[in-house]
Structure 1
Amino acid sequence: MIEVKRDNDPRLEDPWYQTKLDLAGQIYARLRLLFLIVRSDEIPNDVNARLKLIADRRHTEVTLQDFDILRTIFLGRQMRLTYAEVVAALGGGPVGASKVAAFQVRRDLSIDLSDELGEDSLVNFLGW
């Protein structure tokens, strides 16, 4: 889990917000998951562009039916499919891509963004 913060985010000076982030870190540690807080100006431009593509679609509406589609397509597939497969299952085109991004932001999916996002990018289902 990576929490990206702008360097001018006023919440970074708020002790209550810092406590919230600390508690989140403790919970992720107990789940044996990495939790990092990164300033946006520390992220390389190419990576930032990939993250922005996902974040800009975060408000896309997804339904319980969409979630059921995810569970169905990932069932028995070792929890990993390609980006193209998941987009197609969720309606294809811009609608499917937006739903994939929304599920990424909601932490139901995890897209490998270590390289440019493409049809063969790997997608993991986290929503069990």
Structure 2
Amino acid sequence: MKLVLEREIEFREAGTVAIISVSETGGPIRQLITGREPHPTGRPVLVKAGFRAQPWESFRGELPFMELAEVASPVLQVMAQPHRLDMKVVGGPQPVLRFETDFLLTVDANFVADLQSGAPFWLAALRWRGDSESFEPRKLVVEAKTDDDPRNADPEYGHKVALAREVYGKIGWAFATVVGFRDLPSGEVSRGVHRIWLRALTKVSAADVAKVSDFIARAGVRSYAEVAEILGGGPVGRSKLAALHVRRVLRIDLTKGLFPSSAVSLLDDGGVIL
């Protein structure tokens, strides 16, 4: 795949540089799926990837994170395998350290602040309320790992991640390592996120947007059951409501799971995806 040099960043002592390369197609830098993998893989279409397919190769790490990112309201854009980072370290044991991260997200700055304060990724993502009138975008690089990933105890990998974090910080990008048990939802919360994810690609119309916007605005907050009924009720209403949540027209409170009583409010920060 042909690569396009995006930017070169100098960091640390003079002569030490990092080069970020991206695909000229605007898609993933690596095609993870060849059809010969001995483990499950997939390429689901994501609303937040511009309705493009994005690859995953870890059933317990990358896939559940991809679901969470697609459903999380503070996330505006998602890309898997977004770029290649080559770090030329003067005096290091290797002349070039290569880092290919899992995801690049565009997220709201308030979410990044909550994440950097120590909140687990799933909690920071689902309790974000979008109280400000405008979405303040920040780039967030994410490395998604399982709890038993052997790299967790690899000092060389840890050094490479620390350097990558430093490089991203030089250009104003945040960095997070998402590790399964701590950072991904479980129980009712996980089931609620998955139910929304499964319905994300449901077709919605301008009339649906206008209908729910007026209905919710008159009360400020409505219940999940009420809004689903306005959209037609039954499976159709629930599917449209899920799609409008992912498209950031509204926000369903998923912090405890998805129930008929779950609160639904409008998002009005300019980040609607239609």
Instruction: Tell me the TM-score normalized by structure 2.
Output: 0.37
1:75 aligns with 2:75: no
Measure, in 2, the Cα distance between the counterparts of 1:14 and 1:56: 30
Selected match of 2:111 from 34, 37, 41? 34
Query: For structure 2, which runs of at least 5 residues remain unmatched after alignment?
Result: 1-55, 64-79, 86-99, 116-120, 123-177, 270-274
1:72-111 matches, cutoff 5 A: 72-78=214-220, 80-111=221-252
Deviations 1:36-87 (A, max 9, x none): 5664733133122211110010110000010010121022312x10001100
Selected match of 1:11 from 81, 86, 92? 81
The residue identity in structure 2 corresponding to 1:11 is Q
Query: For structure 1, which runs of at least 5 residues remain unmatched after alignment?
Result: none
User: Secondary structure of 2:255's match?
Assistant: coil
Measure, in 2, the Cα distance between the counterparts of 1:19 and 1:43: 15
Measure, in 2, the Cα distance between the counterparts of 1:12 and 1:104: 25
Question: What is residue 264 of structure 2 aligned with on the other side?
Answer: 123
1:64 aligns with 2:187: no
Instruction: Tell me the TM-score normalized by structure 1.
Output: 0.73
Measure, in 1, the Cα distance between the counterparts of 2:103 and 2:196: 27
**Greater strand share, 1 or 2?**
2
CA drift of 1:8 comes to 4.7
The residue identity in structure 1 corresponding to 2:258 is L
User: Secondary structure of 2:244's match?
Assistant: helix
- Percent identity of paired positions between Structure 1 and Structure 2: 31
Measure, in 1, the Cα distance between the counterparts of 2:227 and 2:257: 17
The residue identity in structure 2 corresponding to 1:54 is I
**Greater helix share, 1 or 2?**
1
